[in-house]
Amino acid sequence: MSNNHVSTNLVRIVILGGGYAGVMAALRLANRTRGESVQITLVNGRDTFIERTRLHEATVGNHPPAPPLSTMLGEAGIHFVHGWVKGLDPARRTVQIDAIQADRASHPQTLAYDKLIYALGSFTALSGLPGAAEYALPVERHDAIATRLAQLPSGARVLVIGAGLTGLEVATEIAERYPHLAVAMVTGSKVGQDLAPAGQRYLRNALRKLGVEVHEQTRLARLEDGMAIAANGATLPFDLSIMSAGFAVSKLAREAGLAVNGRGQVLVDPYLRSVSQPAIYAAGDAATMEEGCPVTLRMACATALPMSAHAAENVARTVRGIAEEPFRFGYFVRCISLGRRAALVQFVDAADRPRRWVLTGRVGMWVKENILRWVMSSLHGEKRRATYMWPQLQSTVAPLRETQTTELQQAQG
């Protein structure tokens, strides 16, 4: 991108969230706005970066490094604010936060912005299942889960609720690390339903070998102390239950009056701008495309990084007075760790539909591990150069139909 255009007025850019999306956005922005009059500030409630794609490892006590955000961002000239976002005022373009100071006390603070990137991510939903808040631990509480697992006696029952990618990884990680525990999973859908037949067969065989008991197409009605009650009346006893079913997002966007979907995700246009507040961009789990966009995005690191990098590119373009570009993206693979010695890599098309090819076993594990390492190396690499790239196989701008093309030609004379 050309450096000929230099801004004379300071542009204040605030990024909310310090996960994959927020950190990538900040680092990409710092790269693309070198020499410009900008101030980049990132706000996050934790002062360390958490590799969410490795939470399953942390649940059994294998903690990946958690680098300080101040170090990751400070090396790129980005200001980090350790604090919780309490309010967003799009009319005044301000953010209200409770900043956590060195004494660990919180202090109210207001940040003004010219451009904002909303990247608050998601968390495991507990409110959808009665009793979950009292009797289940969400996967984010990996330290508490690891402590409980280490204390359970032989034969104790561990119930993982949810059989998405995270649930599968947590269940298999625990079963491999603690073979003396009875690990079970329960899901309202079919296990591996988004995989090709070969992937489904391998997954079920891997669960069987690890001794994971599977209760599929079983919808839970509620949790009680030591017991999960299914809608059909069946009971599943447990000594520890872990919640990995369903993700929720912050209420902040809805309370601020931004246009959101039913889940509270910010609705964005093809340029990743809020459809109701164009000074606000959104990326990652907290964002979704407006109705009519031909690209569907699921909550995942695989979408958070491309969205945030592109949002940052477009913010940088506005700083430089360059036209913004629509987001392009396409899926390539889905990866599932199955303990420390095996994994399943499912190849998918651009729309995330499974192809017939899979990689399994140690080869799959090697691919999965190298993808995770590449993610972190990409983030660290962004401190020096904007090197991260992604498959841009589908455009968020739908192609014109033949009748639309004719109408456009007529309108242009």
Tens digit of pLDDT for each residue in 30-66? 999 998 999 999 999 999 999 999 999 999 999 877 8
From first CA to last CA, the distance across the chain in angstroms is: 34
Look at 44-58, 235-249, 364-378, 391-405 and tell me which has the smallest mean pLDDT: 391-405
Residue 130 has pLDDT above 60, yes or no: yes
What was the pLDDT predicted at 398?
A: 59
pLDDT reading at 176 higher than 60: yes
The per-residue pLDDT of the chain, averaged, comes to 91
Element (H, E) at 281: strand 280-282
* Other CB atoms within 10 Å distance of the CB of residue 120: 26
* The pLDDT of residue 296: 76
Tokens standing for residue 219: 């919808």
DSSP class of residue 265 equals: P
DSSP state, 152?
P
- Bridge partners, 227 (sequence order): 224, 237
Instruction: Please give the C-alpha separations between residue 79 and each of 15, 69, 71, in angstroms, as whole numbers.
Output: 10, 10, 10
Q: How many CB atoms lie within 10 A of CB 307?
A: 30
- pLDDT tens digits, one per residue of 246-278: 889 999 999 999 999 999 999 999 999 999 999
DSSP bridge pairs for 13? 40, 115
Domains, the chain, in order of start with CATH, read 11-122+249-328 (3.50.50.60), 132-246 (3.50.50.60)
Contact 209, 180 (CB under 8 A): no
- Say yes or no to pLDDT of 18 above 60: yes
Phi, psi of 317 (to 5 degrees): -65, -40
Q: How confident is the model at residue 407 (pLDDT cuts 50, 70, 90)?
A: very low
Give the Cα separation of 331 and 302 in Å (integer). Answer: 8
**Amino acid symbol at 136:** A
pLDDT digits (tens, 9 = 90+) for 210-230: 999 999 999 999 999 999 999
SS3 category, 408: helix
Q: What pLDDT is attached to residue 383?
A: 83
Q: Which of 215, 229, 218, 22 is nearest to 120 (CA)?
A: 22
Reported as half-sphere exposure (CB side, CA atoms, 13 A), residue 97 has a value of 24
